[in-house]
Amino acid sequence: MIVMKFGGTSVQDAQAIRRVISIVKTRLKDSPLVVVSAFARVTRLLVEMAEEAQAQHTSEVKDLMDKLRERHEGVCADLLGGNPDLLKETSSLVGAVCDSLEDFVAGVCKIGELSPRSRARIVSTGEVLSSIIVNAAMNENGVVSHWADARTLIITDDNYMSARPDMTLTKANIRRVVPGIMKGADVVLTQGFVASTTAGATSVLGFEGSDYSAALFGMALRADRVEIWTDVDGIRTADPRVVPQTQRLERISYEEAAEMAYLGARVLHPLTIEPARGKNIPIYVLNTMNPEGEGSAVVMGEGIPDGPKSVAFRDEIDFLVIESSQIVGVKDMLSRVFRILDDCRVAVSLVSASESKVSLTIPAGQLHTAEAVEQISEIYSTTLYKDKAQVSVTGRNVVYHQGLTSGVLDIAGTVYMVSVGANLMSLSFVVDREKIREIICGLHDMLFKTE
């Protein structure tokens, strides 16, 4: 069997969903389990709804709720209009999910308080809605599809917005439940991103976490392969939205793909690789708009050459510089800083340390960053910069690539921090955010441009 994951742009409207169904039909002999994301931009709408509810902006919440209903009801009508009974049934299910969300958000509005648990409950709704509609459309188009609730299968800790799966429970659940759902079906249809805690509360696997869901299903079911269907032709040497002339990477190793994703490449979720690598399950990154394209394969590293594979970046980071007035030692300083960050559940991307100074990049937008910085400031002098970005060159043994560091300095002008990946698969630089596009394009030309 195989796992096929379709992202938000792949299921953004009725036309896109019909395209997904035609692709799935070409894989029916492989007994696919299909994982779908929320429709494009729906999660963003739900995040906004949660924030407006916390601010007790009742009219804004109602407007967003109306938009959510209208969009999903419209897609239902377009896909299922020729089958009134199925349309009525599916519209009723969609309406029930929306009614439940509306009641819940009304409660948040009333008290003006939004906990991580409540936030997860709200933002996870998009996947439930899209999966109901895509499942019905599959059946309407001659594909026998059975719906599965990922919230009863993937079990996590209680870090609701960036939950980590309990692998033992998750594997046991999937292996026990999914084969029964598969009986009599061409396809099992489920959700990405969503899960639940051991206590049964809804949790999510972090934004863009549907890839991770697909890998977890693939691992548990011992799939022959995992296919990640997106809106680009495979994994590229840079983000094609930033660099005009990127190249497709035919094959890269699990380790290279993980490093790229962790450092900002937007094709795969950073945690996707490990479940597949552990079972040696190949991951194929394919383009929904070009299903005949070759895409890219993520596999074991044998035979894959050393050297640069991609230029990745993150421009939504906080750059934190921590200094001690005394030489306290790297071990003690890192220990105290990271204990605070861990207690506040603040993730870190890059680290550079000396006897009396630690520099960090922190993904922006985390709930407790300010709290962590305040606690660190009670011990050390801290400066938090909001105008920086990080750019990374990834690939096996890339740190030995001749002229890389000097080339970055020539292009960037000023580099505030340099970080070498412990596995020697990345070299990262903190630079001025306003110059990030210029730096990425210049670096890509230096490494990959062919005459």
Q: Which domains does the chain have, with CATH numbers?
A: 2-230 (3.40.1160.10), 311-448 (3.30.2130.10)
- Mean pLDDT in residue range 94-106: 98
Q: What pTM does this model have?
A: 0.89
Beta bridge mates, 311: 393
> At 269, is the pLDDT very low, low, confident or very high (cuts 50, 70, 90)?
confident
Give 273-308 pLDDT, tens digit per residue. Answer: 899 998 999 999 999 999 999 899 999 988 889 999
Give 394-430 pLDDT, tens digit per residue. Answer: 999 998 888 888 888 888 888 999 999 888 899 999 9
> At 213, is the pLDDT very low, low, confident or very high (cuts 50, 70, 90)?
very high
Structure tokens at 303: 């035979």
> At 118, is the pLDDT very low, low, confident or very high (cuts 50, 70, 90)?
very high
Give me the pLDDT at residue 407, please. Answer: 85
Give me the pLDDT at residue 332, please. Answer: 86
Structure tokens at 415: 């580099």
- Mean pLDDT in residue range 335-357: 91
Give me the pLDDT at residue 422, please. Answer: 81
Give me the pLDDT at residue 353, please. Answer: 87
How far apart CA 85 and CA 409 sit, in angstroms, is 64
- Mean pLDDT in residue range 28-57: 97
Going along 215-337, which residue ranges are E strands?
225-230, 251-253, 283-287, 296-299, 310-314, 317-323
> At 451, is the pLDDT very low, low, confident or very high (cuts 50, 70, 90)?
low
Lowest-pLDDT choice from 113-127, 133-147, 311-325: 311-325
- The answer on pLDDT for 64 being more than 70 is yes
The answer to whether 161 touches 204, Cβ cutoff 8 Å, is yes
How far apart CA 217 and CA 17 sit, in angstroms, is 22
Query: Would you state the torsion angle of the CA atoms of residues 358, 359, 360, 365, taken in this order, to the nearest 10 degrees?
Result: 110
- The answer on pLDDT for 450 being more than 70 is no
More reliable by pLDDT, 404 or 127: 127
DSSP string spanning 344-412?
TT---SEEEE-SSEEEEEEETT-TTHHHHHHHHHTTSEEEEESSEEEEEEESTTGGG-TTHHHHHHHHH
- Going by C-alpha positions, the residue among 254, 351, 347, 369 that lies closest to residue 300 is 254
- Mean pLDDT in residue range 167-183: 97
Distances in whole angstroms, Cα of residue 1 to Cα of each of 59, 182, 266: 47, 11, 27
Give 78-93 pLDDT, tens digit per residue. Answer: 999 999 999 999 999 9
How far apart CA 263 and CA 427 sit, in angstroms, is 10
- Mean pLDDT in residue range 301-324: 91
- Going by C-alpha positions, the residue among 163, 247, 142 that lies closest to residue 206 is 163
Structure tokens at 278: 């552990």
